Chains A and B, each alone.
Chain A
Amino acid sequence: MPLGLFIFLAALAVLSALGVILQRNPVHCLMALVLTLLDIAVLFIGLGAVTVGFLQAIVYVGAIMILFLFVIWLLNLRVEQRPSGHPALKLFGAIGAAALFAELCTFVIKAPSTAGLSTVPAGFGSIASIAQALFTNYLIAFEVTSLLLLVAVIGAVALARRPANIAGKQSRSL
């Protein structure tokens, strides 16, 4: 990936991420997050993980974020009025996050510089290569994941379902 492109994407990612946590309006936060995710998807593609990048866009942006949007609408969230959180909490939180950031960066710097991008095999990151890994080495994990999703679906339905008495009124809404 060319340097300029990377710098642009990185800056965009950081800015939009900051937008996620700094804005007051949940929908704006969500939009910022969507932007971040797309940006990261592009970074994936730039790193040769083409399939994963597109999947990130499809699943994350196309589905999960919409879910967030729905919930925000369902709860009819507006701009937060009161300043959020306890000041001490904020202070320590900021300190902690900063410390963690410093440490992580140190790691990255200390890490054995794999600058020499190892020459990747042909079709690296293609859907075929991923499927190869997924259905051989990670087969069990794959199956278990399907189970996880099933459980999540059932759990979500069970949790968010309204009590039967008022459920009748709301069907056919929207």
Chain B
Amino acid sequence: MIVPPSWFMALGAVLFAIGVAGVVLRRNVIVMLMSIELMLNAVNLTFIAVSRALGSVDGQVIVLFVITLAAAEAAIGLAIIIASFRNRETVNADEMNLMRW
């Protein structure tokens, strides 16, 4: 039997929820970044599923853009992490509170 796109979307939902949980639950900033990548991919999966369902290639193009964005985001995010690690010797989100009141 052929799997309907909605199943893929459901899988996307699961992955997205897992990613959210990762961002909220983990203290390690790098792991948080990974979780964000996870969420992005969940969305990508949904896009691809929809583009397959609608038979239009737009979804795939958007996924390309998302991947590019993810690359930029990872580069900048990791650079920031490195910079802050140099000053604070930590990668724990709850210890990076310079923006505190």
Which residues on A are within 8 Å of B, measured CB to CB? Answer: 1-3, 6, 10, 13-14, 17-18, 20-21, 26, 29-30, 33, 36-37, 40, 43-44, 47-49, 51-52, 55-56, 59-60, 63-64, 67-68, 71-72, 74-75, 77, 80, 84-86, 89-90, 92-94, 96-98, 100-101, 104-105, 107-109, 111, 113-115, 117-121, 124-125, 129-130, 132-134, 137-138, 141, 145, 148-149, 151-153, 155-160, 162
| Number of residue pairs spanning A and B whose beta carbons lie under 8 angstroms apart | 252
The chain B residues found within 8 Å of chain A, CB to CB, are 1-22, 24-28, 30-31, 33-35, 37-38, 41, 44-45, 48-49, 51-55, 57-61, 63-65, 67-76, 78-83, 85-86, 91-92, 94
The answer to whether A100 and B72 touch across the interface, beta carbons within 8 angstroms, is no
**Chain B contact residues, majority secondary structure:** helix
A19 to B71, CA, bound (A): 22
Contact of A49 with B4 at beta-carbon distance under 8 Å, contacts A44-B48, A105-B10, A149-B71 already known:
no
CA distance A26 to B3 in the complex (A): 34
Q: B13 is contacted by which of A74, A89, A92, A108 (Cβ under 8 Å)?
A: A108
